[in-house]
Amino acid sequence: TKIAVFASGSGSNFQAIQEAIDRGELDAQIEIVLTDKPNAPIVKRAEKFNIPVFSFIAKHYESKEAYETEIVNILEEHEVEWVILAGYMRLIGSKLLASYANRIVNIHPSLLPSFPGKDAIGQALAHGVKITGVTVHFVDEGMDTGPILSQAAVEVVEGDREATEARIHAAEHKLYTTTLKKLFADEINLIH
């Protein structure tokens, strides 16, 4: 299964997916990493794994439609079948959604539909939840709103944000690869 990973930041989920592929746990190839932040740490990580990177600066384009048209061309050149969002901080527009209908997935660090959007971990902690978690979902035009594919619960470590974050990220790395594996094997039933 040929995939593309879209990211704007650290890229730890990218690395977890690539390492699962290298261990033979996920039958996929990351054909390209795409980023809207040319200086983000994800770029160095991708280079370390010899994965080509396409960087773009959104404001250099006339519109979302314009940069997404270029993105779709690149994805098609690489015969990408699935788009995997991993900390990509932009809403997906109608051009990409139409070209990759039901083929775009995202991971979010909360139990959706609670705490969508930015700083989900901070939102959950500020609310005082005792259990939070992570969600993998299909992407639609909304912010963290598409159909849920899988979730994992994470217990908050009281008074220790760093430890809670570490648990959440570890849960993400595990859940993303196991979910992609099922998704690519057509083993996820979305009827509920």
Is residue 78 part of the annotated active site? The answer reads: no
In whole angstroms, what is the distance from residue 78 CA to residue 72 CA? 10
Contacts of 148 (CB under 8 A, 6+ apart): 112, 135, 136, 137
Distance CA 7, CA 33 (A): 7
Per CB under 6 A, contacts with ligand GRF among 68-107 are 86-87, 107
46 binds ligand GRF (CB under 6 A): no
Among 37, 95, 103, 108, binds ligand GRF (CB under 6 A): 108
| Cα atoms in the 13 Å half-sphere on the side-chain side of 80 | 26
Q: Which amino acid is at 32?
A: I
DSSP 58: G
* Cβ at position 189, least distance to ligand GRF in Å: 24
One residue of 30, 82, 100, 109 binding ligand GRF per CB under 6 A: 109
**x/- string (CB under 6 A) for ligand GRF, residues 4-43?**
---x-xxxxx------------------------------
Residues that bind ligand GRF (CB under 6 A): 7, 9-13, 86-87, 107-109, 172
